[in-house]
Amino acid sequence: MKAVEPELSEVLAVRTAFTRLVPPEFEDRNQHMNVMRYFQLHGEAMWQLHHRLGFGEISGFGLFASEQHLTYYREVLVGQEVSVHLCYLGRTDKAVHGISYLVNRTAGEIANSFEFLSVNVDLATRRPAALPDPVARRLDESIARTRALGFGPEHGVLELRGVAAPARD
C-alpha cells in the first residue's frame, strides 16, 4: 500500500502539538537536522497527546510501540521553525494507529511523517489489554475529528490487525 501524502494546508488543520526553533545541537555532520531528532520530536508529540487522552490520569496502563514507519520528504536546518501535528487514524479495542507530520514552517513544507501502531498494555501483567473506557471514548472523538478533516487509514502504510481495510478506489 502506498501512503497518501497530504497537502501542507491539510496538515496545518491538524492540531499542533508544539512549535519550536531547531537548536544547534540537533545538527549532524551533513549540516541539517539529524534523523534521530525527527524521531525525538514525534515522540514528544505522542507523549503529549497520550497524556491528553488520559494515559497520565489512568494508572496501570500505557501505550507500547508496536510498529513505526518514518518517511523523510525534505531536510530541516538549524534555526528553522518546525511544528508537529499528530492525529489518530483508527483503533481496535487494544491498539491505536496514528500519524504525525513534522512541518518546516520556515520553508512552508512537510518535512517528514511518522506513522505508528501502539498497543495498550496493562503495566502489572505486561500484556496487551483493552483500552480503558475513558481513553477509548477520547480516542474515538479524536479519530472522528481526524476523519472530518479528510484523514483516514489510507494516509499511512500500516494497518491495524483484525480490522477490515477501507475500500479503495
In CATH, what number is assigned to the domain containing residue 95?
3.10.129.10
Residue 112 maps to a domain:
yes
Burial of 110 (0-12, 13-18, 19+ CB in 10 A): buried
Whole-model pTM over 0.85: yes
Whole-angstrom Cα distance, residue 140 to residue 89? 10
Per the CB < 8 A criterion, the answer to whether 113 and 84 are in contact is: no
Beta strand 81-91 with 95-104 is: antiparallel
**Domain count of the chain?**
1
pLDDT in tens, 53-89: 887 667 788 899 999 999 999 999 999 999 999 999 9
Largest CA distance in the chain: 47
Residue 161 maps to a domain:
no
What sign has the CA pseudo-torsion 147, 150, 151, 152? positive
pLDDT in tens, 68-77: 999 999 999 9
Whole-angstrom Cα distance, residue 61 to residue 164? 26
Provide the 3-class DSSP secondary structure of residue 49.
helix
How does residue 50 score in pLDDT terms, banded at 50, 70 and 90? Answer: confident
The alpha carbon of residue 140 and the mean position of all alpha carbons in its chain are separated, in whole angstroms, by 15
Q: What domain range includes position 25?
A: 8-155
What sign has the CA pseudo-torsion 9, 12, 13, 14? positive
Residue 168 maps to a domain:
no
**pLDDT for position 90:** 94
